[in-house]
Structure 1
Amino acid sequence: MNAKNVTEHIINWLKDYAENAGVKGFVIGVSGGIDSALTSTLCAETGLKTLCVEMPIHQAESQVNRASEHINQLKSRYPNVSSVQVDLSSTFENFKTVTPPVAPSASLDLSLANTRARLRMTTLYYLAGLHGLLVAGTGNKIEDFGVGFYTKYGDGGVDLSPIADLLKSEVYKLAAFVDVPKSIQGAAPTDGLFGDSRTDEDQIGASYDELEWAMEMKDSGKEIKDFSGRELEVFKIYTRLNRNNQHKMNPIPVCKIPKNLK
């Protein structure tokens, strides 16, 4: 991949989209992870208004520190970048007090994790509406179109997706090219939605390098019978998640009413 050419292409695409939409720039949720760091840098490179938003919800200190380091670096490099922190911890806790009580379970943990992402999406659209901005998504190709590793109407609720055609390995290459802080480049990917130290690999059961391999194998027509050992395990993980999360990747199904019934 030619990092320079790809970077310039995305920046021009972002500028054209914003100008055609008649908006002033972009708002991005910055988590301290590689995807949001790359996306916010690419948006900053357009010269258009770029609002970086930190939205901690009982966030690990390391994640907060990386996000702050990245935002401070961006603001020192680009005069069009501004930032705001919206601590949603109390909002999240209040949400739990006004919903019906349920017994602790894995489904409760997952529902609350998705609730964190949806509170953040609501915050980004609030700020976007106030300032005439577009919400820039931070999902990469593996997450968005491979295994569906994101929250529907959470971090999946965006106006445009500048890095969604980049594999995770390509995200790292572009991040290094645009000088994303080394602390972020070296951090283990995590969605930070559970309030603990679990990584994306812990949740998925496979690394992004393994998932990229599985995506390539599936796209080339390979089947489960073609693999054994760890390769079989990874291919099964990828195939299962890709199948189960199609509802995130496809348009909302619409019940079409036959004309003779109207």
Structure 2
Amino acid sequence: MKTDAVIDHITGWLADYCAKAGTRGFVVGVSGGIDSAVSSALAARTGLPTLVVEMPIHQGREQVSRAREHIAALKTRHAGVAGQEVELTPVFDGLVAALPGEPEGAARDMALVNTRARLRMTTLYYLAGLHGALVVGTGNKVEDFGIGFFTKYGDGGVDLSPIADLTKSEVYEIGRALGVGEAILKAPPTDGLWGDSRTDEDQIGASYPELEWAMAFEGDAGALTGRQAEVLAIYRRLNAANRHKMVPIPVCEVPEALR
């Protein structure tokens, strides 16, 4: 990959999109992970006003510190960057107390994980509305178009996606070139939605390099090793199960004869 050229291309694309949309800049949520670090760094690089937002909800201390350090570094490098912390833990806890359902169970746990992501999306759009800005997505190609590893109308609710055509490996390459901090580069990828230390690989059952291989696989499945077959099965299962996230919302078209 021509890393510097890709960085310039994405930076220019962001600036052009903002100009055509008639907006004044960007709002980006950061989590202390590589995807949000790269997305926010690319937005900041446009020179346009960029509000970088941390939104902890029972967040691990390491994630919070990485996010804060990243915001501080961006503010040092780019005059147009501002930071904002919105503590959403009390809001989340109040909503949990008000919601119906059994207090425990896998279905409720997953519903609340997605609720965290949707609270953050609501916060980002509130701030974007205040500042006349666009909400920048932080999903990569494997997550957004491979296995659907995002929350519909949560982290999937954005105005534009600068890194969604980059694999996770390519995002790391861009991050290193942009000077993203070592703490973020070395941290195991995690969505940070569970309030514990589980990683993306813990949840998915495969690493991002494995998923990138599966996403590109077009060969003879009968010739695969045991692990390769397992990874391909994981990829195909998630791709099918989360297809509804990756295609346009179905619209029931009413036949003209019924109008």
Give the alignment's TM-score, normalised by structure 2: 0.98
Q: In structure 1, which of residues 225, 229, 233 is the aligned counterpart of residue 226 of structure 2?
A: 229
- CA distance in 2 between counterparts of 1:100 and 1:224 reads 45
Name the residue aligned to 2:174.
174
Q: Deviations over 1:123-179 (max 9, x none)?
A: 000000000000000000000000000000000000000000000000000000000
Q: Output the aligned Cα RMSD.
A: 0.8
Name the residue aligned to 2:162.
162
- CA distance in 2 between counterparts of 1:70 and 1:9 reads 23
Give secondary structure in 2 for the equivalent of 1:28: strand
Residue type matched to 2:128 in 1? Answer: A
1:143-154 matches, within 5 Å, as 143-154=143-154
Indicate conservation of the 8 Å contact 1:135/1:158, yes or no: yes
Name the residue aligned to 2:77.
77
1:91-240 matches, within 5 Å, as 91-217=91-217, 220=218, 222=219, 224-240=221-237
Name the residue aligned to 1:246.
243
Residue type matched to 2:227 in 1? Answer: R
- CA distance in 2 between counterparts of 1:25 and 1:182 reads 27
Q: Deviations over 1:92-140 (max 9, x none)?
A: 0000111114141111111000000000000000000000000000000
Name the residue aligned to 2:64.
64
Indicate conservation of the 8 Å contact 1:35/1:139, yes or no: yes
> Gaps (5+ residues) in structure 2?
none
Q: 1:46 to 1:225 in 2, by over 3 A?
A: same
- CA distance in 1 between counterparts of 2:79 and 2:138 reads 22
Residue type matched to 1:174 in 2? Answer: I
- CA distance in 2 between counterparts of 1:243 and 1:234 reads 14
> Gaps (5+ residues) in structure 1?
none
- CA distance in 1 between counterparts of 2:223 and 2:130 reads 53
Name the residue aligned to 1:24.
24
Residue type matched to 2:167 in 1? Answer: L
Name the residue aligned to 1:10.
10
Q: Deviations over 1:234-260 (max 9, x none)?
A: 000000001111100000000011111
Give secondary structure in 2 for the equivalent of 1:151: coil
Identity of aligned residues (%): 60
Residue type matched to 2:104 in 1? Answer: P
- 2:25 corresponds to 1:44: no
Count of residue correspondences: 259
Q: 1:87 to 1:257 in 2, by over 3 A?
A: same
- CA distance in 2 between counterparts of 1:108 and 1:45 reads 40
- CA distance in 1 between counterparts of 2:80 and 2:4 reads 22
Residue type matched to 1:57 in 2? Answer: I
Name the residue aligned to 2:257.
260
Indicate conservation of the 8 Å contact 2:210/2:231, yes or no: yes
The worse-fitting range, judged by mean Cα deviation, of 99-108 and 134-143 is 99-108
Indicate conservation of the 8 Å contact 1:224/1:236, yes or no: no
Q: Deviations over 1:20-54 (max 9, x none)?
A: 00111100001000000000000000000000000
The runs of 4+ residues in structure 1 deviating greater than 6 Å are none
The worse-fitting range, judged by mean Cα deviation, of 93-102 and 74-83 is 93-102
- CA distance in 2 between counterparts of 1:223 and 1:121 reads 41
Indicate conservation of the 8 Å contact 2:101/2:108, yes or no: no
